[in-house]
Amino acid sequence: MAYDNILVETNGHVGVITLHRPKALNALNGALIAELGTALDRFEADPHIGCLVLTGSERAFAAGADIREMQPLTFPATYADDFLSSWDRLARCRKPVVAAVAGYALGGGCELAMMCDIILAADNARFGQPEIQLGILPGAGGSQRLTRAIGKAKAMEMCLTGRTLTAEEADRYGLVSRVVPLGELRAEAMKVADTIANLSLPSVVMTKESVNRAFETTLAEGIRFERRLFQALFATADQKEGMAAFVEKRSASFNNT
């Protein structure tokens, strides 16, 4: 499959997607989002892939949704087409996704990063929701995921003023898991993804689902849900292998069953 707006490659059990619209700082247009959806479908269906990395360029992860594409839109058209309703494909990916963010992650770019499970930031990364400066608001979950990630006070300031965060601030506020030197970003992201990809896929997918459930339910329901998944994993061969490997003092070799 040929892609025009993204680069797709496989490295061991890791699928790597690189946003690639360099002239527009990886601004997200309909074509790019469609290609991203196709790549995600393929990696998700590939039993050899256990984790994904999503990245951009050194200058921009993504500078937002494509303003030129959005400029002529009208309310009746956006409403009738339910504009953006399919742009959250990434958030529905069942396999873990590591975002490797360098440069600008603004608007839809910040929202795209927040749809991932782990965000590694290069020291030059900048996160922001500047939509207010365009007379709109974050439309792909930014006001919701950002608020859950860093709290109301900081999310309000970002969304209401368009202020951007440095990588160091994003780290301190809990938006990213850590900051690494720009030159080490890709290698670090690959290391994290490779670690995950070599674990047992059923336990990885269930762990992701269980952590995400914390955002959607009560504590009691979440704990019950986690316990059921925990019990279910005792039906897998990988649980037997993982625990046998520990007892026998050797590395586990999982086969995702």
Ligand X SMILES: CCCCCCC/C=C/C(=O)SCCNC(=O)CCNC(=O)[C@H](O)C(C)(C)COP(=O)(O)OP(=O)(O)OC[C@H]1O[C@@H](n2cnc3c(N)ncnc32)[C@H](O)[C@@H]1OP(=O)(O)O
Binding site for ligand X (CB under 6 A): 24-25, 27-28, 33, 63-68, 84, 87, 104, 106-108, 111-112, 130-131, 134, 139-140
Rounded CA-CA distance 116/253 in Å is 27
Residue 108 designated active-site: yes
For residue 93, give Cα distances in angstroms to 29, 43, 76, 203: 20, 10, 30, 15
Residue 234 corresponds to which tokens in the numbers above? 């005792």
Contact indicator for 16, 53 with CB cutoff of 8 Å: yes
* Residue with smaller CB distance to ligand X, 95 or 145: 145
DSSP state of 91: G
Helices 108-115, 142-150: inter-axial angle, 10-degree rounding: 60
State the minimum distance, in angstroms, from the CB of residue 249 to ligand X.
Answer: 46
The catalytic residue among 60, 111, 121, 193 is: 111
* Residue among 87 and 254 whose Cβ is closer to ligand X: 87
- Options 65, 121, 167, 170, the catalytic residue: 65
226 is catalytic: no
- Give whichever of 104 and 254 is closer to ligand X, judged by the CB atom: 104
- ∠ CA 74-81-5, nearest 5°, is 90
* Adjacent-strand bridge partners of 28: 65
Known catalytic residue at 111? yes
Q: How far is the CB of 46 from ligand X (least distance, A)?
A: 22
Q: 39, 131, 141, 142: which is the annotated catalytic residue?
A: 131
Name residues whose C-beta falls within 8 Å of residue 243's C-beta, 6 or more positions apart in sequence.
Answer: none
Nearest approach in angstroms of CB 108 to ligand X is 3
Cβ neighbors of 178 (< 8 A, separation 6 or more) are 120, 121, 171
Nearer to ligand X, 115 or 185 (CB): 115
Task: Give residue number: closest CB to ligand X.
Answer: 107
**Shortest Å, Cβ 179 to ligand X:** 20
Catalytic residues: 65, 108, 111, 131
